[in-house]
């Protein structure tokens, strides 16, 4: 590809020129986008993809003479005949100047600019008799868009453009992003009469929004009118029979009910001795009037009843659409928008036409429909089969595809936000079962189908390895999270409930979708600082704000920071390159940073989600930087050995110790008597040799030390002393209250020779005796992470834990 001229990124030029007999249309703007050029978007094998372009006359009075489009390969306008490709020139969030200069012969022709979007329609206005101009900006909306020239309501000329995203590859990322949204909540992505639209195809659905209904009926209404006109010319009918009283001479098909009728109405017979044929007693009579069987046409058929019912349902839906649109445009509505009289007029015209059809004489005489079954008339009769088909189409939903119907797409930034949430849920649901959700509650009653917002917006999952639960919130926060200063509402919050020593602790992390990207254009300050494309700096600052501003209300006037990490999700596809970015490395340092997130770039986020879910409570806590001095403050809590675990001689000692709330041990067993002053808890270990016959071994009982005394063994009267030991010094620990663990700490082939020192922290979390021997930071860190993966096995260099000098291995026991 030829290199672009210097300064091309800021140079505005003609992008499209359409010359016709009523004047010349110019659309002017920047032909290149700096992000698109830096990331080389919208290319296929190095060449530009084709862009959609249609220029068509809609009136025999308008003749298109010449069309020229900008070519990025030649950097100038080239002639376009509809068969040659056109290139991406129109992007989101860019200004484009629309200019129409009328021809001298059509100076007095009243021309107006039309677009489905009211804002764009009002942006282009007349500038004198000869010029129509204005600035067009499609904001964050991409896809197809139609520009029309009209005169007194008559459509004259159509220009159909394709608006490309500036941060996504249109043919890959954008289409795939929409497809994934469509697969999970397919009608989530549609909005109502916005600036651009995507072609869609019809698909089955149980629920349908009014915006979908309007898009369908706009496409089908004229065809429905044509079908109804055909039906009106020859409605389906049937021949009904009825009985009418007529003079006997005029009766053609007498009814077999005449005898009974004359018996009840003798006034219609007269005596006739000559021609009478009806004998009554001794006389002969002749009827003057008889019942005649008469056939007549009736339109009250099952098919016509269904037809009328269809029209009434469509009319009701249109009236509902108009009413809700009127509610939507009220100023007090928080999503209110400008009132569009063109749209209201279009709906009113449809309503008026349906009311005319329902007022047809033969339709008014039809009785209400009570039951319905498909018939050959509905499937094959001209007019009826079309109406039946159109009604079925109106009951169906829409799926994004090629050229059938038009439907407005939502702002691409909002689509990206929805996609991020739905993709996070998809990544989680691949490995963890969903146990509860009340988030994807589509609002089918309104014009806009959106994800639910507020406290109820959540999806709850289960980690089957440890039965811990976690919740993904959308646009809301966990119940006790508050912002005492200013409101904060990140897009997605992952809240993990981790079990630590039998207690549930909550750790929350923010994943905020930002449809923003700094492409690190050569020569920019961003490129100088970070070298590679990445998130905007202000979005990283927002993550710092979220983490610090959102707090947990533990007690009155007491707040704790509850967000342990905050990350930007932004549209970028090169994950390997981003691994070296400053804002990716900052995650490991401060737990604030960014992840690239697109349909073809989800592995970094998926890997990080797994890490967070499998993290131990300690590691989850340590991900967030603590205030200065925290490490020294908590050092004794985690490292100091404040618990003594000793062996017992047998079941009798256990019974007495529990009854009198004490534990005694020879003073000689303490190598350093200073250790006694640090003991806050004691526990008793029941060995296999002494207790296996009773069916219980391990460590079950522990208690908090109330006081300790050094006394002679003879003074411990609760258990009589052996004569040879009566004079020895013992340490007697008085316990406030003995407690029993829910699950004993298993011996697992290990034992205690005399005394074992450990911390209460390790005691609360250990499952096997050998784990109490861990005391180095490296061994503790390894143990914390391994136990998240399954049952941990600690291998020591001695069978007696208190005599072991080295930890040989910490591993997950194979099942």
Least confident of 520-534, 612-626, 643-657: 612-626
User: Sign of the CA dihedral 506, 510, 511, 513?
Assistant: positive
Q: Check residue 282 and give its pLDDT.
A: 74
Contact 65, 25 (CB under 8 A): no
Is pLDDT at 241 greater than 90 in this prediction? no
CA distances from 128 to 17, 97, 772 (A): 21, 17, 89
Please give the residue that has the higher pLDDT: either 365 or 740: 740
Q: How far is CA 362 from the centre of its chain?
A: 49
Question: Cα separation of 78 and 74, whole Å?
Answer: 8
Is pLDDT at 675 greater than 60 in this prediction? yes
CA distances from 156 to 57, 95, 147, 377 (A): 6, 25, 11, 40
| The residue to which tokens 């830096």 are assigned | 38
Helix ranges (H only) for 55-196 are 118-123, 175-185
Q: Check residue 569 and give its pLDDT.
A: 96
The full 3-state SS of 713-750, as one line of letters, equals: HHHCCCCCCCHHHCCCEEEEEEEEEEEEEEEEEECCCC
Question: Cα separation of 422 and 177, whole Å?
Answer: 10
Give the start-to-end residue ranges of the domains of the chain.
8-166, 209-235+301-395, 412-625, 633-812
DSSP string, 766-782: -SBGGGGG--SHHHHHH
Question: Cα separation of 568 and 533, whole Å?
Answer: 14
CA distances from 63 to 23, 40, 78, 99, 503 (A): 10, 38, 20, 18, 78
Whether the predicted model's global pTM rises above the 0.75 cut: no
Q: What are residue 113's phi and psi, to 5 degrees?
A: -95, 135
Question: Cα separation of 394 and 310, whole Å?
Answer: 10
Q: What are residue 432's phi and psi, to 5 degrees?
A: -130, 130
pLDDT digits (tens, 9 = 90+) for 139-162: 888 888 999 999 988 999 999 999
CB atoms within 10 A of CB 262: 20
Question: Cα separation of 490 and 535, whole Å?
Answer: 16
Q: Check residue 436 and give its pLDDT.
A: 78
Q: What are residue 186's phi and psi, to 5 degrees?
A: -65, -35
Mean pLDDT of the chain: 81
DSSP string, 394-414: HTSEEEE-SSSEEEEBPPHHH
Contact 16, 74 (CB under 8 A): no
Q: For residue 727, what is the DSSP state? A: T
Tokens of 701: 């009982």
DSSP string, 690-719: HHGGGT--EEEEEEEEEEEEEEEGGG-TTS
Q: Check residue 94 and give its pLDDT.
A: 92
| Mean local confidence (pLDDT), 262-274 | 78
First CA to last CA distance, the chain: 60
Question: Cα separation of 25 and 14, whole Å?
Answer: 10
Question: Residue 319 is inside which H or E element, if any?
Answer: helix 302-328
Is pLDDT at 63 greater than 60 in this prediction? yes
Helix (DSSP H) and strand (DSSP E) numbers for the chain: 22, 39
Contact 641, 759 (CB under 8 A): yes
Q: What are residue 621's phi and psi, to 5 degrees?
A: -70, -40
500 three-state secondary structure: strand
Contact 620, 609 (CB under 8 A): no
Q: Check residue 780 and give its pLDDT.
A: 72
Q: How far is CA 472 from the centre of its chain?
A: 11
Question: Cα separation of 495 and 506, whole Å?
Answer: 7
Q: Check residue 338 and give its pLDDT.
A: 66
Most confident of 58-72, 248-262, 499-513, 544-558: 58-72
DSSP string, 5-54: PTTGGG--EEEEEEEETTEEEEEEE-S--HHHHHHT-SEETTEEPP--EE
Question: Cα separation of 306 and 312, whole Å?
Answer: 10
| Mean local confidence (pLDDT), 635-644 | 66
Question: Cα separation of 181 and 419, whole Å?
Answer: 6
Most confident of 583-592, 627-636, 787-796: 583-592
Q: For residue 534, what is the DSSP state? A: B
Nearest to 466 by CA among 252, 734, 787: 787
576 Cβ contact list (under 8 Å, min separation 6): none
pLDDT digits (tens, 9 = 90+) for 702-730: 999 999 999 999 999 999 888 888 899 99
Q: How far is CA 237 from the centre of its chain?
A: 51
Buried b / exposed e across 443-482, counting CB within 10 Å, b at 16+? eeebbbbbbbeeeebbbbbebeeeebbbbbbbbbbbeebb
Contact 30, 15 (CB under 8 A): no
Nearest to 391 by CA among 211, 217, 235: 217
CB atoms within 10 A of CB 325: 20
Tokens of 183: 């697969």
* Phi-psi category of residue 364: left, alpha or beta, with phi > 0 → left and psi -120 to 50 → alpha: alpha
Contact 520, 578 (CB under 8 A): no
Nearest to 640 by CA among 594, 603, 674: 674
Contact 363, 306 (CB under 8 A): no
753 three-state secondary structure: coil
Q: Do the strands 112-114 and 95-102 form a parallel or antiparallel pair, or are they unpaired?
A: unpaired
| Mean local confidence (pLDDT), 656-684 | 90
Question: Cα separation of 209 and 187, whole Å?
Answer: 8
Question: Cα separation of 210 and 171, whole Å?
Answer: 29
577 Cβ contact list (under 8 Å, min separation 6): 532
pLDDT digits (tens, 9 = 90+) for 229-238: 999 998 988 8
Is pLDDT at 771 greater than 90 in this prediction? no
C-alpha torsion 605→606→612→615, nearest 10: -140
Question: Cα separation of 197 and 406, whole Å?
Answer: 6
Please give the residue that has the higher pLDDT: either 593 or 189: 593
Least confident of 85-94, 169-178, 755-764: 169-178
Is pLDDT at 352 greater than 90 in this prediction? yes
Question: Residue 259 is inside which H or E element, if any?
Answer: helix 258-264
Question: Cα separation of 113 and 90, whole Å?
Answer: 19
- pLDDT above 90 covers a percentage of the chain that reads 29
CB atoms within 10 A of CB 608: 16
Q: Check residue 626 and give its pLDDT.
A: 63
């Amino acid at each position: 590809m030829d290199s672009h001229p210097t300064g091309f990124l800021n140079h505005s030029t003609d992008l499209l020129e359409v010359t016709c007999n009523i004047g010349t249309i110019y659309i002017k703007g920047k032909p290149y986008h700096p992000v698109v050029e830096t990331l080389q978007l919208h290319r296929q094998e190095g060449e530009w993809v084709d862009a959609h372009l249609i220029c068509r006359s809609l009136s025999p009075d308008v003749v298109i003479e010449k069309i020229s489009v900008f070519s990025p390969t030649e950097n100038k306008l080239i002639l376009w005949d509809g068969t040659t490709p056109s290139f991406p020139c129109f992007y989101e969030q860019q200004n484009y100047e629309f200019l129409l200069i009328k021809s001298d012969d059509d100076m007095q022709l009243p021309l107006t600019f039309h677009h489905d979007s009211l804002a764009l329609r009002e942006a282009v206005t007349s500038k004198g008799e000869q010029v129509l101009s204005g600035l067009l900006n499609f904001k964050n909306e991409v896809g197809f868009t139609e520009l029309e020239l009209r005169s007194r309501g008559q459509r004259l000329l159509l220009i159909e453009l394709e608006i490309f995203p500036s941060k996504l590859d249109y043919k890959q990322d954008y289409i795939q992003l929409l497809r994934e949204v469509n697969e999970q909540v397919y009608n989530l992505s549609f909005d109502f009469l916005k600036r651009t639209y995507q072609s869609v195809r019809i698909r089955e659905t149980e629920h349908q929004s009014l915006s979908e209904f309007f898009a369908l009926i706009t496409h089908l209404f004229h065809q429905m009118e044509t079908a109804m006109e055909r039906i009106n010319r020859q409605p389906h009918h049937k021949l009904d029979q009825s009985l009418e009283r007529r003079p006997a001479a005029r009766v053609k098909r007498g009814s077999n009910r005449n005898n009974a009728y004359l018996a009840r109405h003798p006034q219609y017979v007269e005596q006739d001795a000559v021609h009478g044929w009806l004998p009554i007693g001794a006389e002969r009579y002749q009827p003057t009037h008889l019942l005649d069987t008469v056939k007549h046409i009736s339109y009250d058929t099952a098919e016509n009843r269904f037809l009328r019912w269809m029209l009434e349902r469509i009319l009701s839906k249109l009236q509902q659409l108009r009413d809700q649109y009127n509610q939507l445009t009220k100023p007090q509505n928080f999503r209110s928008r400008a009132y569009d009289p063109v749209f209201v007029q279009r709906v009113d015209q449809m309503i008026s036409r349906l009311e005319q059809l329902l007022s047809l004489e033969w339709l008014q005489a039809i009785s209400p429909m009570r039951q319905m079954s498909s018939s050959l008339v509905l499937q094959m009769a001209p007019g009826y089969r079309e109406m039946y088909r159109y009604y079925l189409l109106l009951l169906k939903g829409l799926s994004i595809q090629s050229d059938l119907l038009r439907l407005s797409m939502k702002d691409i930034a909002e689509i990206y936000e929805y996609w991020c949430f739905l993709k996070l849920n998809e990544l989680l649901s691949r490995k963890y079962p969903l146990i509860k959700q009340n988030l994807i509650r589509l609002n089918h009653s309104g014009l806009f189908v959106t994800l639910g917002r507020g406290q109820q917006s959540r999806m709850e999952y289960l980690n089957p390895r440890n039965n811990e639960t976690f919740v993904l919130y959308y646009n809301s926060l966990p119940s006790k999270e508050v912002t005492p200063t200013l409101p904060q509402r990140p897009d997605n919050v992952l809240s993990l409930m981790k079990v630590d020593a039998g207690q549930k602790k909550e750790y929350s992390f923010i994943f905020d979708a930002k449809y923003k990207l700094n492409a690190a254009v050569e020569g920019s300050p961003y490129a100088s600082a970070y070298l590679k494309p990445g998130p905007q700096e202000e979005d990283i600052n927002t993550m710092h704000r979220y983490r610090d501003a959102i707090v947990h209300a533990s007690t009155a006037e007491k707040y704790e920071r509850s967000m342990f990490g905050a990350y930007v999700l932004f549209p970028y596809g090169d994950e390997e390159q981003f691994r070296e970015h400053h804002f990716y490395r900052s995650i490991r340092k401060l737990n604030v940073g960014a992840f690239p997130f697109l349909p073809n770039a989800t592995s970094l986020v998926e890997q990080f989600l797994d890490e967070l879910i499998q993290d131990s409570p300690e590691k989850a806590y340590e991900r967030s930087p603590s205030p200065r001095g925290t490490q020294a403050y908590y050092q004794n809590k985690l490292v100091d050995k404040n618990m003594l675990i000793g062996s017992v001689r047998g079941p009798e000692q256990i019974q007495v110790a529990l009854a009198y709330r004490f534990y005694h041990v020879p003073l000689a067993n303490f190598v350093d008597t200073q250790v006694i002053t640090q003991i806050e808890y004691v526990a008793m270990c029941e060995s296999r040799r002494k207790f296996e016959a009773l069916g219980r071994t391990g460590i079950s009982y522990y208690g908090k030390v109330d006081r300790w005394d050094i006394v002679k063994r003879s003074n411990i009267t609760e258990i009589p002393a052996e004569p040879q030991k009566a004079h020895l010094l013992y340490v007697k620990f008085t316990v406030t209250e003995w407690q029993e663990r829910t699950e004993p700490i298993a011996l697992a082939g290990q034992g205690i020779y005399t005394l074992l020192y450990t911390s209460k922290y390790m005691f609360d979390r250990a499952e096997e005796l050998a784990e109490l021997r861990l005391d180095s930071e490296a061994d503790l860190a390894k143990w914390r992470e391994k136990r998240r993966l399954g049952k941990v096995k600690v291998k020591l260099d001695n069978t007696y834990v208190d005599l072991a000098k080295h930890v040989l291995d910490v591993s997950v026991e194979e099942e």
